[in-house]
Amino acid sequence: MSRTLIRNGLVITASDELATDVLIEDETVVALAGPSISQGWTADTVIDATGKYVIPGGVDAHTHMELPFGGTFASDTFETGTRAAAWGGTTTIVDFAVQSMGGSLREGLDAWHAKADGQCAVDYAFHMIMADVNEGSLKEMETLVGEGITSFKLFMAYPGVFYSDDGKILRALQKGAETGGLIMMHAENGIAIDVLVEQALARGNTDPRYHGVVRHALLEAEATSRAIKLAQVAGAPIYIVHLSAIEALAELTRARDEGVNAFAETCPQYLYLSTDDLARPGFEGAKYVCSTPLRPSEHQAALWRGLRTDDLSVVSTDHCPFCFKDQKELGVGDFSKIPNGLPGVENRMDLLHQAVLDGHIGRRRWIEIACATPARMFGLYPRKGTIAPGADADVVIYDPTAQQVISAETHHMNVDYSCYEGRIVTGRAETVLSRGRVVVDKGAYLGAPGHGRFLRRDTCQYLR
């Protein structure tokens, strides 16, 4: 048995800030105690965390490694993407296995296991994207929930690719209510968006910034409202992914105020980037094409407020990187052909720590939205998302004073640009432990592909 002792740090969880030492045996946290007790502890490895925070490893509940999209694949593999996650202090990802049209959920899940198993630097789990809701796939939901795939993403956007009509959505929600599976919704009215895309292109409006124009905020709000109402009809909870618009947040807030079990995440890009980035000169704006799209900067204050009031419960990255060269460039002359998605798995913990320094959120709320709540929402708590006896020893020694300049030159994601190029943030993961193993230490990578294990998840812990 190996014992690791983390001394002299400030342990921050979603509920507490305690000057306490942490004892780890093999892969598990076994005790927290102040010096009067911990001085009696012996360990093979002692980590001095004086002046540092000791926080749970980040839980990023929305990533897309190797996602096929728009004729190409997201550029991070499970190996490169989870390594980058570890560098950024994230020790659990929940990625999306994809059902193909005409295929079964099982085939999609097997394909994602084949990509991820033996490759990951940190622990990983899967949601399932349902691209083809039918009798067979609805039946499969129950089996998958039993196997730890307890959430299913549906799309109100992308007709002909991932899109489900309201009838299919209602059926999936009903099955979710029956089985405990949580339906996650990409809430944009894709039928209306496609009309606006066609009209924009016919007018010669082909630049990346039109991606933001046609994906109108009201079409996000309308879909958010419709999704929530369909969930109410089905008697099911719902989780809205990548919420970006004030108008959509208003729909969510109204429903929550009425007591509906509607949850939502937003992403760092909506908190820090805007349509000004989409409108960068030349084709540069393509780097910022994602869906839902970036909004005018006025939306940011509302999203921060939503995070403070808990109308927004989680910050995930929706990490879905495409290189500018050759991948984003597929959309030169036609914004609708730019692959949708941004890189970010490495930057989330630091951008949210910067939000603490900027006064948007408190320190415990930082841990709540980035670690504890995603773990609870997706059935991983308290194994993940906290530091407590019995939890996996996914622990980050975080230096709250280290300054860094975010750049593609220095990041570890397999993508040739950073959305945050040149941005200075204060705070950095100094040492990262994944199930007791040091995977990053003071600028050195010590992890390995295959260390990360597949996590069978429980059902959403807000509903039990």
Q: Based on CB atoms, which residue is closest to Zn ion, 186 or 295? A: 186
Window 31-60: residues binding ligand URP (CB under 6 A): none
- Would the CA dihedral through 462, 457, 168, 192 be positive or negative? positive
Q: How many binding residues for Zn ion (CB under 5 A)?
A: 2
Question: 98: part of which helix (H) or strand (E)?
Answer: strand 90-98
Considering the rule CB under 6 A, would residue 295 count as an interface residue with ligand URP? no
Please name every residue paired with 264 in a beta bridge, in sequence order, or none if there are none. Answer: 240
Among Zn ion, ligand URP, none, residue 341 binds (CB under 5-8 Å by kind): ligand URP
Distances (CA, A) of 339 to 160, 241, 326, 328, 385: 16, 18, 11, 6, 32
Q: Based on CB atoms, which residue is closest to ligand URP, 242 or 376? A: 242
Q: Based on CB atoms, which residue is closest to ligand URP, 88 or 344? A: 344
* Member of 207, 318, 392, 430 binding Zn ion (CB under 5 A): 318
Considering the rule CB under 6 A, would residue 197 count as an interface residue with ligand URP? no
Among Zn ion, ligand URP, none, residue 388 binds (CB under 5-8 Å by kind): none
* Member of 52, 186, 215, 287 binding ligand URP (CB under 6 A): 186
CB of 46 to Zn ion, least distance (A): 40
Q: How far apart are CA 336 and CA 323, in angstroms?
A: 16
Residues 256, 306, 375: CA angle, nearest 5 degrees: 80
Window 387-446: residues binding ligand URP (CB under 6 A): none
C-alpha closest to that of 195 among 159, 245, 244: 159
CB of 318 to ligand URP, least distance (A): 5
From the number of C-beta atoms within 10 Å of its C-beta (0-12, 13-18, 19+), residue 400 rates as: middle
Strand runs labelled E in 289-346: 314-315
Name the residue whose CB lies closest to ligand URP: 340
Question: 28: part of which helix (H) or strand (E)?
Answer: strand 28-33
* Member of 242, 299, 348, 437 binding ligand URP (CB under 6 A): 242
Among Zn ion, ligand URP, none, residue 273 binds (CB under 5-8 Å by kind): none
Chain centroid to CA 330: how far?
A: 25
Considering the rule CB under 6 A, would residue 318 count as an interface residue with ligand URP? yes
From residue 199 to residue 238, the character string flagging contacts with ligand URP as x (rule: CB under 6 A) and all else as - is: ----------------------------------------
* Member of 320, 338, 415, 440 binding ligand URP (CB under 6 A): 320
Q: Based on CB atoms, which residue is closest to ligand URP, 186 or 435? A: 186
Q: Based on CB atoms, which residue is closest to ligand URP, 32 or 241? A: 241
For 377, other C-beta atoms within 10 Å of its C-beta total 27
Among ligand URP, Zn ion, none, residue 290 binds (CB under 5-8 Å by kind): ligand URP
CB of 4 to ligand URP, least distance (A): 37
Question: 135: part of which helix (H) or strand (E)?
Answer: helix 135-146
Q: Based on CB atoms, which residue is closest to ligand URP, 184 or 370? A: 184
Window 87-146: residues binding Zn ion (CB under 5 A): none
Own/partner long-range contacts of 14-17 (Cβ < 8 Å, ≥24 apart): 14/364, 14/365, 14/367, 14/368, 14/371, 14/372, 14/373, 14/385, 14/386, 15/364, 16/364, 17/363, 17/364
What is residue 127's three-state secondary structure?
A: strand
Q: Candidates 163-171, 316-324, 408-416, 450-458: pick the segment binding Zn ion (CB under 5 A).
A: 316-324
Structure tokens at 65: 């490694």
Q: Based on CB atoms, which residue is closest to Zn ion, 29 or 173? A: 173
Window 178-217: residues binding Zn ion (CB under 5 A): 186
* Member of 141, 290, 406, 413 binding ligand URP (CB under 6 A): 290
Q: How far apart are CA 459 and CA 168, in angstroms?
A: 22
Q: How far apart are CA 143 and CA 136, in angstroms?
A: 11
Question: 96: part of which helix (H) or strand (E)?
Answer: strand 90-98
> Is-contact 420 89, C-beta < 8 A?
no
Please name every residue paired with 153 in a beta bridge, in sequence order, or none if there are none. Answer: 129, 184
* Member of 75, 340, 354, 373 binding ligand URP (CB under 6 A): 340
Q: Based on CB atoms, which residue is closest to ligand URP, 222 or 318? A: 318
From residue 89 to residue 108, the character string flagging contacts with ligand URP as x (rule: CB under 6 A) and all else as - is: --------------------
C-alpha closest to that of 218 among 299, 314, 313: 299
For 387, other C-beta atoms within 10 Å of its C-beta total 28
From residue 55 to residue 74, the character string flagging contacts with ligand URP as x (rule: CB under 6 A) and all else as - is: ---------x----------
Q: Based on CB atoms, which residue is closest to Zn ion, 96 or 381? A: 96
Residues in touch with ligand URP (CB under 6 A): 64, 186, 242, 290-291, 318, 320, 340-341
Residues in touch with Zn ion (CB under 5 A): 186, 318
